[in-house]
A and B are shown apart, each in its own frame.
Chain A
Amino acid sequence: MHGIDYPLLLRSMVRGMGTSLSLFGLTLAITLPLGLVISAGRMSRNPVVRNSVRAYLLIMRGTPLMLQLFFFYFGPYYIFGIRGADRFTMAVVAFGLNYAAYFAEIYRGGIESIPIGQREAAEALGLTRSQTFLKIVLPQVLKRVTPPMGNEFMTLVKDTALANVIAVSEMFDVAKKAASGSVSAAPFIVAGAFYLAMNSVVEQAFRFAERRLSYYQ
């Protein structure tokens, strides 16, 4: 049995958390706008666009994220014999494409829940299509998608742990290595506390956002 060097563990956990947070932040920076574009494709009147997007959504939501991580990291080499980008970049790509699929469907639910009368009223007042979307539809959509988005954000915090399967040294990867080095469950408990802390920030942020948006019904 080795004793655990707690200061060292905490230092490396904080470094791992930095990687987890970058993965979290970059994924959101990509998926929040990308999801909106994909939801537009899913609602397109063009059947080729609509059905291609449906197939994409089925694949991304219908297969394990862990498998997708493997695919994006190892795929380029196994299939084309070329080296893909580094682990972290490929993790961002996999998370981005995966989470954009979920966000797209949440946006679509939000957009389709806005009564058609809202768009007609805007149109009758002479607003252009983009003005109608940006000023009338989108603000109302954001209010409606906030609760389900809270779910997704929290899941994403936890899902970043999956990046360890392609050896991205995020928080869980660090804990796993520390645990096997010290033959102790303590690193896992510390990691759990870190995830919980991150998600309590997410939860607070969403509570704040929902309160800010509660000025109308």
Chain B
Amino acid sequence: MREILTVSGIRKSFGAHEVLCGISLTVRKGEALAIIGPSGSGKSTLLRCVTQFETIDGGAIEVDGETMVATDSSGAVRYADKSALRRIRLKVGLVFQNFNLFPHYSVLRNLMEAPVSVLKLSKSEAEARALALLSKMGLSDKSNAYPYQLSGGQQQRVSIARAMALSPEILFFDEPTSALDPELTGEVLKIIRSLADEDTTMVIVTHEMAFAREVADNVVFMDEGAIVEQGSAEALFGGATHERTRQFLTRYNR
């Protein structure tokens, strides 16, 4: 299967503190990758580097065969030009921990805004696409509601639909259930599970270990800015080879 995301040896520091110390991973088409690890291990920073919210200090990132950033032999980090970065951005969907829906727009408008003003789809086309996504999310009756009228779980489902409205090649989830109470977590996980069943390419940063084990094809365990261990979900959850990974997982399996 073709590689949708290739991250090679990326480094990132905030001041003297190195948050990412040479991270490499690949995600192939149709693959669901879970990134797990303790708070402060660099998971979210990694996601922010790949989604262009942070710049890297070294290494390379390739999205769907196109180089987003690379480091030459002299160590200079070179980003692709603006139009390429924009093209890459549209291949990448991002679901935030705090949803970040636009509060002044209805659910439907939240889903139509980018397709209309970025992809230049016609209103009717964008609306048809938005309604199809909403029905997939089980939210057909909410198209005219405003975000504040929805539960957290519903808001997160809308934000997943919003990210998918641009038909990205790969979807990133940044702790999609961390802002939800346990009763609402299930409905969001169910949606992500159904996306995985349809072979949606995705990267999920999560603290839901049972969910990661069930949904992810591959799992990356990060600690202190480095990948400690990566492999298939079965291998990692079934018998992690590193002490640190086992230590982390037992805390969740108790």
A142 nearest in chain B by CB position: B104
CB of A118 within 8 A of CB of B100, answer yes
Closest residue of A by beta carbon distance from B92: A124
- Residue of B103, B148, B162 near A125 (CB, 8 A) is B162
Judge whether A136 is part of the interface by a CB distance below 8 angstroms: yes
- Docked Cα-Cα span, A131 to B51, in Å, equals 19
Contact A126 B118 (CB under 8 A): yes
Given contacts A216-B148, A217-B148, contact A127 B100 (CB under 8 A): no
Decide if B53 is an interface residue (CB 8 Å cutoff): yes
Q: Give chain B interface residues in 127-158, CB to chain A under 8 Å.
A: 146-148
Name the interface residues of A73-131: CB closer than 8 Å to any CB of B. 115, 117-118, 120-127, 131
The interface residues of chain B lying within 8 Å CB-to-CB of A177 are none
CB-defined contacts of A123 to chain B, threshold 8 Å = 52-53, 89
Q: Are A126 and B100 interface neighbours, CB within 8 A?
A: no
* A121 with B117, Cβ < 8 A, contacts A126-B90, A126-B166, A215-B146 known: no
A125 to B119, CA, bound (A): 10
Question: Which one of A121, A131, A139, A215 contacts B100 once the chains associate, using CB atoms below 8 Å?
Answer: A121
Per the bound structure, the CA–CA distance linking A118 and B105 in Å amounts to 12
A214 CB to closest chain B CB, in angstroms? 11
CB-based contact B89/A124 at 8 Å: yes
Cβ contacts A158-176/B at 8 Å (1 or 0 each)? 0000000000000000000
Partner of B89, one of A118, A126, A217: A126
Quick one: which of A128-147 are within 8 Å of B by CB? Answer: 131, 135-136, 139-140, 143
In this assembly, does B191 line the interface, its C-beta being within 8 Å of a C-beta of chain A? no
Interface size on A, as a range, is 20 to 34
- Among B92, B93, B103, B117, the residue within 8 A (CB) of A216 is B103
> Is B86 in contact with chain A by the CB < 8 A criterion?
yes
Which residues of the other chain, A, contact B53 by a CB distance below 8 angstroms?
A: 120, 123-124
Contact with B103, one of A120, A124, A127, A140 (Cβ below 8 angstroms): A140
- What is the CA–CA distance of A125 and B112 in the complex, to the nearest angstrom? 11
A217 and B117 within 8 A (CB)? no
- Residues in B with CB closer than 8 Å to A117 are 96, 98, 100
B113 on interface, CB distance cutoff 8 Å: yes
- Interface pair B118/A121, CB less than 8 Å apart: no
Report the Cα distance A125→B94, complex, angstroms: 8
**In the bound complex, do residue A125 and residue B100 qualify as a contact, i.e. CB atoms below 8 Å apart?**
no
B104 near A121: Cβ-Cβ < 8 Å: no
B77: min CB distance to chain A, Å: 20
Asked whether any CB of chain A lies closer than 8 Å to the CB of B211, the reply is no
Are B118 and A139 in contact, with the CB atoms below 8 A?
no
Contact A126 to B86, CB < 8 A, known contacts A121-B102, A140-B104: yes
Which residues does chain A contribute within 8 Å of B226, judged by CB atoms? none
A117-B96, A126-B90, A131-B117 known; A136-B51 Cβ under 8 A? no
**Interface hits, A177-196 → B, CB 8 Å:** none
7 contacts between A and B (CB under 8 A): A121-B159, A124-B51, A126-B86, A126-B166, A127-B117, A140-B104, A143-B104
- List 15 additional contacts besides A123-B53, A126-B90; criterion CB under 8 Å: A115-B100, A118-B100, A120-B100, A121-B96, A123-B52, A125-B118, A126-B89, A126-B114, A126-B118, A126-B166, A127-B114, A127-B118, A131-B118, A140-B103, A216-B103
